[in-house]
Homo-oligomer: A and B are copies of this chain.
């Protein structure tokens, strides 16, 4: 059994990590760190874990050496604690925003502050198995991308990798997200009466995940982020322009080739059916990212669509997938829940 700890275990990503790791057949959870609730039962905060675990939250000092630690801390905390965690654990998987960008200058622009550990920025391997599987096999520091970034990148990467996109035109991303992405801390904006039924543009320009998409795809991404009525779930739409002569079949082939062996990416672009394009609700709890596309052949305009559960493939599940890869285990261990329909 591999010994793992979760820091920030009382948040939503932390809870999802616990759900997945407690159900992982080769993992022992040796610490669920919460600075707010040390000593309190884990299932008092995550009621879905009642009868599943008797674990209690602990403080950081109670965590001994471990094989891996997952950081689900508030943004800005990870970069100040990173030194400690590196000493305690062979592998650090960070799920915060702190190490997602590789340039301190870009970090400053998007996060509005100085990075506290800029020299480490280049040492983190992006937690994107579909782009960086080989590097992940030996990584000691992994940074899991933002939920909208993972969706956005996976929905355009097959075409960028094959140079099928007109990079001059850039790419416009429209991301929609449920409320769990804002975390477990109550405030006026996520009060149920205000947030319910919302179509709330909270970042018309300049969202942090935009910088990640630009980095991973090597193009100029413009992203708008909107909160819609959902608790879990992210969907990204991407508008781009195909290079002259690229048709629907070429696009389809690119997607198929890219993802045919991927355990957690499905190409969903059907002619008919209610769920003919990717949609988050049937993915909730699962580690799938579904990707699809449509081509307007008259104009060469491309629309791609991606969907995932922001707490799973957009966070905790993706982290466990990376962990499995790093540990040389089957990639799908502990990640086989297929999602529910209807839901």
Min distance, Cβ A298 to any Cβ of chain B, angstroms: 9
Judge if A160 is at the interface, Cβ distance under 8 Å: no
Kindly identify, within residues 228 to 244 of chain A, every residue whose CB is under 8 Å from any CB belonging to chain B. 228-233, 235, 237, 239
| A205 engages B301 (CB within 8 Å) | yes
What residues of chain B lie closer than 8 Å to A336, measured between beta carbons?
A: 23
* Pairwise interchain contact A199-B303, C-beta atoms closer than 8 A: no
Shortest distance in angstroms between A330's beta carbon and chain B's nearest beta carbon? 16
Q: A191-B186, A192-B179, A205-B296 are in contact. Are A285 and B233 (CB under 8 A)?
A: no
Of the candidates A23, A179, A195, the one having the most CB atoms from chain B within 10 angstroms of its own CB is: A195
Chain A 55-95 near chain B by CB (<8 Å), digits 1 or 0: 00000000000000000000000000000000000000000
Query: Chain B nearest CB: distance from A129 CB in Å?
Result: 16
Q: How many residues of A contact B (CB 8 A)?
A: 88
| Shortest distance between the CB of A206 and any CB in chain B (Å) | 7
Flag the segment in A1-9, A118-126, A133-141, A267-275 that touches B. Answer: A267-275
Q: How far is the CA of A278 from the CA of B196 in the complex (A)?
A: 15
Cβ–Cβ contact A277 & B196, under 8 A: no
B222–A196 CB distance below 8 A: no
Residues on A facing B (Cβ under 8 Å): 12, 15, 19, 23, 44, 46-52, 169, 172, 174, 176, 178-180, 182, 184, 186-201, 204-206, 220, 222, 224, 226, 228-233, 235, 237, 239, 266, 268, 273-275, 277-286, 288, 290, 292-296, 299, 301, 303, 305, 307, 336-343
